[in-house]
Amino acid sequence: MSFGTFINRTVQKTEEALRTSEKTPIDPELVNLMGQSEMRKRWAKQLIQLTENMIRPNPAIRLEDSILKGLERTKERTSASEQLGESMCLIGNEAGSSTPVGQSLNQFGNVETTMGRAQDVMIKEIDQKYIGWLRGYVESSCKQAEKEREKLEGKRLDLDRAKTKLRHAKDGDPKKQSYEMAVNEEQRLFDEQCKTAKQAQEKSISEFEKHVDALRAMIEIQYNYHKQCAEALKAAIS
Per-residue pLDDT tens digits of the chain, which is 238 residues long:
677 687 777 777 776 676 777 788 899 999 999 999 999 999 999 999 999 999 987 666 656 666 656 655 666 777 888 888 898 899 998 888 889 889 999 999 999 999 999 999 999 999 999 999 999 999 999 999 999 999 999 999 989 888 988 888 777 677 788 888 989 999 999 999 999 999 999 999 999 999 999 999 999 999 999 999 999 999 888 7
Give the separation between CA 25 and CA 196, rounded to whole angstroms: 17
Enter the pTM of the model. 0.81
The helix-helix angle for 176-208 and 143-168 (nearest 10°) equals 160
Give the C-alpha separation, 148 to 202, whole Å: 12
Torsion 12-18-20-26 (CA) sign: positive
**In a domain? residue 167:** yes
Q: What is the pLDDT of residue 66?
A: 62
Q: Is residue 87 part of a domain?
A: yes
Compute the distance between CA of residue 157 and CA of residue 59 in angstroms, rounded to an integer.
Answer: 43
Tally of structural domains, the chain: 1
Domain that holds residue 203: 22-237
- 192 within a domain of the structure (yes/no): yes
Where residue 97 sits, what CATH number does that domain have? 1.20.1270.60
- Judge whether 39 and 30 are in contact, CB under 8 Å: no
Least Cα distance to 12 among 147, 159, 149 occurs for 159
Phi, psi of 99 (to 5 degrees): -85, 155
Q: Residues 141, 43: contact at Cβ < 8 Å?
A: no
Identity of the amino acid at 144: Q
Residue 72: what pLDDT? 57
